[in-house]
């Protein structure tokens, strides 16, 4: 009986580690996309208002910061999966910059990463649409 419980626990952890690996890959892709988007947006103001431009840059920057925090939490979450039903529910304690303890779940970093990326791209798109057609090129 005890062997069966241990086997089930090991299988559950293996499945969570596999899911966490996919999650890490997706978070990494979104981080790279956010960095690329920030670089592209920052060099292409396309006549949009300063407010939309700055808000877009700010949101993309926050998406990058939260993406880095998400990826930093992945190995800590992987080490603390015992007894969890899903890696999203694992609370981990870490000491960023060696100043103080912070306890968080990985979803508190990945959710803002996604929201700020979507906001950043949306604000830029809205700003471009509101600016209207640009003259001086195209077919």
pLDDT (0 to 100) of residue 82: 85
Residue 139 in domain:
no
CA 79-86-89 angle, 5° bins: 80
In a domain, 136, yes or no: no
pLDDT in tens, 7-57: 668 888 899 999 999 999 999 999 999 999 999 999 987 789 999 999 999
Q: What is the mean pLDDT of the chain?
A: 88
The answer as to whether 90 is a domain residue is: yes
**pLDDT value of residue 116:** 98
Domain count, the chain: 1
Is residue 129 classed exposed, middle or buried when 0-12, 13-18 and 19+ CB atoms within 10 A define those classes?
Answer: exposed
pLDDT range class, residue 2, cuts 50, 70, 90: low
Residue 100 lies in a domain: yes
DSSP 61-119: HHHHHHHHHHHHHHHHHHTT-TT-SSGGG-EEEE-GGGTS-EEEETHHHHHHHHHHHHH
Whole-number pLDDT of residue 6: 56
State yes or no: pLDDT of 96 exceeds 80. no
What single-letter DSSP state applies at residue 46? Answer: T
- Please give the residue range of the domain that contains residue 35: 2-131
């Amino acid at each position: 009986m005890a062997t069966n419980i241990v086997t089930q626990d090991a299988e559950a952890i293996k499945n969570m580690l596999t899911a966490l690996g996919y999650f890490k890959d997706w978070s990494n892709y979104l981080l790279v996309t956010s960095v690329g988007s920030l670089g592209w947006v920052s060099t292409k103001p396309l006549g949009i208002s300063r407010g939309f431009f700055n808000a877009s840059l700010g949101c993309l920057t926050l998406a990058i910061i939260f993406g880095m925090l998400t990826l930093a939490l992945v190995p800590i979450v992987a080490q603390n999966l015992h007894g969890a039903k899903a890696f999203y529910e694992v609370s981990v304690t870490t000491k960023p910059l060696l100043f103080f303890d912070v306890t968080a779940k990985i979803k508190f970093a990945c959710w803002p990463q996604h929201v700020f990326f979507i906001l950043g791209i949306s604000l830029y798109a809205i700003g471009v649409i509101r600016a209207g057609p640009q003259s001086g090129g195209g077919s």
